[in-house]
Amino acid sequence: MMNAVQNEIGKLLFNEPMARHTSWRVGGKADRLYIPSGLDDLCKFLESVAKNEPIYFIGLGSNLLVRDGGIRGTVILMHNVLTELRMEEGLVFVEAGVTCAKLAKFCAKEAMEGAEFFAGIPGTLGGALAMNAGCYGGETWGVVSRVVTVDRQGQLHTRDASEFKASYRHVDMPVASEWFVGAWLKLDAGGAHEATQKIKDLLARRLASQPLNLPNAGSTFRNPVGDHAARLIEASGLKGYLIGGAQVSEKHANFIVNIGDANALDIELLIKHMRETVLAKFGVALQQEVKVIGEYEVR
């Protein structure tokens, strides 16, 4: 049974169903889920967390699969918490809880070009920084100047982009157990109308090609060099393939959709089947883009 402790500084939930906080709408219960009231409160809360307690930061819960047995540890929810977004000395400062879509629109309004691709990323900036999210030819770390991170002790650190090694859908952290809480983005001055139109075009492409009407977590696999995961999956005859309530999207083969009653195990088994089928047919080992956390359900 869920219990909550509410005070003026933040909200702490116990045994919180993660299906409420993931874009696939699946996932077991987290031992604890904390919703900070802001950055200072987040830092104070981290000071209070036991040293051996696992900590997971999430935003919109996209690109994430939480297993049915839930999470032993503490989840920190960033979406709608760290939402500062402003111009600062020619750079765009954005906190980790801002959605990528909102960031793209803000940059266009400020006549800054180069952030339009963020409109196609279904998550928050924190997640985009953590995985070097990108689409339509743009990548998050291609526009990062410097970042702010927080460590387990609640201490903040400002780090230059040169301290991080970013590659396709991956970022090497220079220090373990630090999480992104904000970034300064370096963009080109341009025209507001042109940037806004580009965003509209990108969103139209996304709507036409992706199954946005059903719960999904974005792309399941990274694109292999010189090819596309969706092409390989479709050519393997997997479009529409079902395991339980999880289905390979008939609209975009690199998306798995929850058709209404999927659980996390359905999705994880489908990911495994897709990988094994493509490997057997084409000899290509697809690399998973979706992050899987949590425990298997004991049955």
Catalytically annotated residues = 169, 219, 289
Spatial separation of the C-alpha atoms in residues 113 and 131, rounded to whole Å: 22
Give the C-alpha distances (Å, rounded to integers) separating 177 from 33, 50, 53, 152, 247.
18, 13, 12, 6, 35
Spatial separation of the C-alpha atoms in residues 90 and 170, rounded to whole Å: 27
| Contact (CB, 8 A) for 59 and 127 | yes
Strand 291-293 versus strand 64-66 pairing type: parallel
Give the C-alpha distances (Å, rounded to integers) separating 257 from 215, 238, 247, 268.
6, 13, 5, 12
Give the C-alpha distances (Å, rounded to integers) separating 269 from 80, 220, 251, 261.
32, 13, 20, 15
Q: Give the count of alpha carbons within 13 A of 191, CB side only.
A: 4
Spatial separation of the C-alpha atoms in residues 130 and 57, rounded to whole Å: 10
| Contact (CB, 8 A) for 183 and 144 | yes
Spatial separation of the C-alpha atoms in residues 278 and 232, rounded to whole Å: 6
Residue 107, helix vs strand vs coil: helix
